[in-house]
Amino acid sequence: MNKDIKEIFNLIKKYDTITIFGHINPDGDCYGSSLALRELIRLNFPKKKVFSLAGTLPQLEKRLAKQDTLEDDNIIKDSLAILVDVSETERVSDQRVTLAKQIIKIDHHIESKPFYGIKWVDEGAIAACQMIAEMAFTYKLKMNKLIAELLYLGICTDSGRFRYQPTNSKTHRIVADLLEYGVETDSMFKILYLSDEAYVKYQALLVSKFKRTAHNVIYCCADVNDYTQFGLKFDQISKNVNVIGNIRGCPAWVLFTRSPENFIRVEFRSQTLNVQKVAAKYGGGGHLHAAGARLNDQSDFSLAMQIVEDLEQEAALEAEGK
């Protein structure tokens, strides 16, 4: 048995109060892993008080589950805080996490800096949801359809519907076991992947705007008017990097989306380049070929162009075989 899983599970059994936290700008894995872990603990340890304080995906709340709201900071102070799908406390959406009696994490990202608490990090897992499912099956925990659907959601979205690395045999075995609980994939896919006409028009705009560097790095800068002209909001459109991706001969692609509050969400993807290294330079993190960052107080895209130059240098080195 993995000793990290054992250590994490023993701490879950030890604490009467548990709070769960995720990263800013939550995705399917952050939303799914935080709520799945909450539901697993509640189902198997009904006397414990468990709160999931990670961010939400509003379009999925009615279909799956809602996050908790917690105004009493004293509950957090008395709790075991579990970070899921987030590498470090600075990137947690609710900074009250620092009040907790003890902080641990379950994560699958490369650490951009050391985490000095108890941790279970598996860079070979495609999603934090895969790790939580592994823990549940290792300890033969009771599970239900909701938990299985939340875990499936995170694995499916982080893997790009099982297209991205490191999707592997363990991923598919875990998914097969989750499907036995009656996961209804079709209804989730309709929420996740059906688009309004305005959203499709916005994506077409991104395709028309992207540019290519000398060494074939693709980049695109989306300003506030680009999406508000279609009646769209930042939270709806800030995860579109693959609209400009997977172009033959292009080693990496990056999308910069500026918010009305003047921060820029940066999404990195690549075929071959180590984009995590570049993301970490700007306070972000992630995986070798999929990473993200947030640039605060940006009235224009000048800092974004520095990132493009860094990616161009990496692409040039790769082209030279260095």
Domains of the chain: 3-192 (3.90.1640.10), 197-319 (3.10.310.30)
* This prediction's pTM: 0.88
Mark out the alpha helices in 72-222 (DSSP H runs): 73-77, 128-138, 145-158, 169-179, 185-193, 197-209
At a CB cut-off of 8 Å and minimum separation 6, what does 307 contact?
254, 256, 266, 278, 282, 293
Please write the tens of the pLDDT for every residue from 148-188. 999 999 999 999 899 888 999 999 999 999 999 999 999 99
pLDDT at 129: 98
Q: Half-sphere exposure of residue 289, counting CA atoms within 13 Å on the CB side?
A: 17
pLDDT one-digit tens code per residue, 50-99: 999 999 999 899 999 999 999 999 999 999 999 999 988 988 999 999 99
Distance between CA 264 and CA 257 in Å, rounded?
5
The Cα–Cα gap between 241 and 225 comes to: 18
Please report which confidence band the pLDDT of residue 1 belongs to, taking 50, 70 and 90 as the band edges: low
